[in-house]
Amino acid sequence: MPLFLPHFNIQKFNTLAVPAVANYFVSVQSDEDLREAIAFAKAEQLPLLVLGGGSNIVLRSDFPGLVLHMKTRGIDLVEESDEFVWLKVAAGENWHELVEYSLDNGFYGLENLSLIPGSVGAAPIQNIGAYGVELKDVFAELSALNIQSGLMVTFTNESCQFGYRDSIFKQSLKDQYIITSVTLKLRKVPELNLEYPALRAALIDIPEGEITAEQVSAAVIAIRQSKLPDPVQIPNVGSFFKNPIIPIGQFEHLKSSYPTIVSYPIDAQQVKLAAGWLIDQAGWRGREVNGVKVHQDQALVLTNPGKLEGKLILQLADSVVASVQEKFGVVLEMEPRVYP
Ligand code: FAD
Ligand code: NAP
């Protein structure tokens, strides 16, 4: 039986370092622990917060329920072909440690996703992505426990309905499943993705045919460390907003007023804007309100250096959204999930 710890301080379990207390906290180390935790929550009628690294949540206040901390471990090679390996990874494994493990063992595809904080089980929730690669590009399937029925279900790449920082687990199946493992399909010979200009620039001294996956990972780590605040030093949840995707007509209108607007085509009808650029142009970069800040080096990141309450961060986020909407007519959508 896992230990259910009452009145538990979860400040150290969210990377924004928001001070908050959960009614109960339990560390889940096995599928059996998970079932017992769900039974406890049902018996006590407690809402659940499934927690990995806490790097994509904002705690508005205390959590009046059971925080279920996923700490299951295990990386198993479950299938192999001439070209690929399939790794089944427990939800509680750390994402970046998995990236390092894959490179150490000559399995490729995760290098662009180096240094993303958090757990493997959370990676499918928003289809984590960076430097032109998303989880869906290496994803084979996942196992998840249905909270209501107790049945273990397999989800394929298609049934996860992955989108831009999105999946079925944020939409129609929100709060219905707990992901217990993720199976990734990795290459034995790397196929590098160097489409992001910052990545290409970091590797400019190496002839393209000679670049290794390990060098790509090292470059991604170096770029990230140069512009993103380390949550251990300066609490944050990475990008606070998603990059907005807007219709081409609206984009052309904006471009005529703001010729330097940063944008990337999605398809013939839609364009992605860099939310960081919009926030910067609206005058927010480096600004501090009530002790919480818009990061100086990347305006898409809000920071909580004083480890203050979540509601102050949400107030700052609201002000940013309102002023970007007023200036550009574009509504920014928050990326992290707010609890309770
Ligand atoms: P948590 O914050 O613990 O949880 C996030 C959500 O997932 C919650 O709703 C939670 O209930 C749910 N969840 C967690 N585990 C499970 C599970 N096993 N089953 C069901 N639901 C679950 N994200 C990117 O996509 N790309 C980046 O490049 C990136 N860079 C970042 C950089 C920094 C400095 C920081 C702080 C964050 C960054 N993020 C990035 C955001 C974050 O790291 C990812 O979203 C990550 O996947 C969150 O993992 P976590 O374990 O911390 O999730
Ligand atoms: P950046 O390189 O300064 O680029 C700014 C934005 O432009 C990014 O958000 C990126 O969109 C987009 N972009 C750049 N080159 C692109 C291209 N060739 N094609 C399409 N879109 C392009 O970004 P950054 O802030 O340093 O982040 C680098 C990468 O890490 C990005 O992929 C970003 O998503 C990821 N990241 C994510 C988080 C998070 O919490 N979600 C935090 C830090 C970094 P995309 O965001 O769509 O890639």
Whether 98 and 117 have beta carbons less than 8 Å apart is answered as no
Whether 168 and 139 have beta carbons less than 8 Å apart is answered as no
Task: Give, for 202, the enclosing helix (H) or strand (E).
Answer: helix 197-202
Query: Amino acid identity, residue 28?
Result: V
Whether 73 and 90 have beta carbons less than 8 Å apart is answered as yes
The reply to whether omega before 265 is within 30° of 0 (cis) is no
d(CA 45, ligand 1 centre) in Å: 26
3-state secondary structure of 56: coil
CA distance 319 to 321: 5
**Burial call 221-250: b when 16+ CB within 10 Å, e when fewer:** eebbeeebbebeebbbbbbbbbbbbbeeeb
Question: From the CA of 147, which ligand is nearest?
Answer: 1
DSSP secondary structure letter of residue 38: H
Among 116, 297, 334, which residue has the most ligand 1 atoms within 8 Å of its CB, making it the best to mutate?
Answer: 116
Among 162, 166, 167, 196, which residue has the most ligand 2 atoms within 8 Å of its CB, making it the best to mutate?
Answer: 196
- How is 227-272 classified by DSSP, letter by letter? HSPPTTTS-EEEESBPPPEEEHHHHHHHHHH-TT--EEE-SSSEEE
**pLDDT attached to residue 1:** 87
Ligand 2: which residues within 6 Å by Cβ?
129-131, 195-198, 227-228, 238-239, 243, 264, 274, 276, 298, 300, 335
Note down pLDDT in tens along the chain; length 340 residues.
899 999 999 999 999 999 999 999 999 999 999 999 999 999 999 999 999 999 999 999 999 999 999 999 999 999 999 999 999 999 999 999 999 999 999 999 999 999 999 999 999 999 999 999 999 999 999 999 999 999 999 999 999 999 999 999 999 999 999 999 999 999 999 999 999 999 999 999 999 899 999 999 999 999 999 999 999 999 999 999 999 999 999 999 999 999 999 999 999 999 999 999 999 999 999 999 999 999 999 999 999 999 999 999 999 999 999 999 999 999 999 999 999 9
Active site residue 239: yes
Query: Under the phi-then-psi rule, with left for phi > 0, alpha for psi from -120 to 50, and beta for the rest, what region is 129?
Result: beta
What does the block give as tokens for 71?
A: 């700490």
| Cα–Cα distance list, 204 to 181, 197, 332 (Å) | 37, 10, 34
